[in-house]
Amino acid sequence: MIPAHPAFADGPLYLDYNATTPVDPRVTAAMEPYLAQWFGNPSSGHAYGAEPKRALERARRQAAALIGARADEIVFTGSGSEADNLAIRGAVLAAATDRPHVITQITEHPAVLETCRALERLHGTEVTYLPVDRHGLVDPQDLTAAFTPRTVLVSVMAANNETGALQPVAELARITRDHGALFHCDAAQAAGKIPLDVIASGIDLMTVVGHKMYAPKGIAALYVRTGVTLEPLVYGGGQERGLRAGTENVALAVALGAATQLAAEELADTTHDRVAVLRDRLHDGLADGLPGRVRLNGPYENRLPNTLNISIDGVRGHELLAAVTGIAASTGSACHSGARTPSPVLSAMGFDPARSLSALRLSLGRWTTTADIDRAVGLLTAAAEPARPA
């Protein structure tokens, strides 16, 4: 039984789980002892460091289990952006190749795209940005054609943060392996929502983010396959396999470990199926209430179970959400919040500016109920109904 969450006792409906998730009370309970009682440095050789060290390694095992990795392949970082930077920059700077070549795709998270652009600017790295189709998916043939003898890394996300589109990462990783390069996958949105197995998929590097899966902000992890060499981002002591110097934040690592264990338990039952049913109920309710005006952005089948991205003809997404005070949602990535320009993701998928500007991203989660969905349908339909397509 999932305990009630105090954040939702009195407030608007929360349909922005892809931006961030509330911290699960069970996660809070797990981390609290390491904020006070077990305060020691996990690198200390005395009694005060022993329990923090055990907790840190337990959290490492829990995070590894969610993605099919080994505990010693998990590196804790301070954010998903840091993990992406360590994977991409670390692989490029460690490569024994003159002017390394990187392949990514145009709808990646800014943490990936901006790291690649910085490598181009600062280190002369060559980067190929693959296009996507109308569903936001990379064509494996485009990846195959992009390789050069200098390609050292391919970085393609598991799931898009705006549309929920699931990339064919296992196939892309296989192609990458056949060409002798490393494959990095940003799984910030996918981890805990769909099954992931780095071994079965042939993935070398994977990013997992705490605040996308009911842990606090400020903690993430990078899976680094045994044998992969990276240049560190932060130099100093030998923490985190020498890849991320600095005394570990034990409480936040414990929180991530607890969150990954809860996610694994949910994936083993039907919790994610429940969320997919609610997502489709939301879509169907809006389509019925606004006939002919609701258009799905992204694939119908091959997407995250919690994510609905739609455009409503005749309205602008940010104006509609501003008019509906009873719902907390977004028009796209939280990293672009406040922007009044078309979503780069939807533009890359070939949608015109009017469709992009009318988009809503409605993302569900652990505490979303049927009553919430029905209320959201009523509020959004009422607010959008007076508008008509030009």
The residues assigned a catalytic role are 335
Judge residue 78's burial from the number of C-beta atoms within 10 Å of its C-beta, 0-12 exposed, 13-18 middle, 19 or more buried.
middle
The runs of H, that is alpha helices, within the chain are 25-31, 47-67, 80-94, 110-123, 140-146, 169-178, 198-201, 250-267, 271-289, 317-323, 344-348, 353-357, 370-384
Q: Is residue 344 within 8 Å of 127, Cβ to Cβ?
A: no
Q: Where are the alpha helices (DSSP H) in 216-369?
A: 250-267, 271-289, 317-323, 344-348, 353-357
- Is the sign of the CA dihedral 71, 75, 79, 83 positive or negative? negative
Judge contact between 82 and 277, C-beta under 8 A: no
Distance CA(302)–CA(319), nearest Å, equals 29
CA pair distance 251, 39, nearest whole angstrom: 9
Tell the residue number behind the tokens 């049913």, with chain if given: 277
Secondary structure (3-state) at 176: helix
Question: Quick one: which of 48, 63, 153 has its CA closest to 105?
Answer: 153
Largest CA distance in the chain: 72
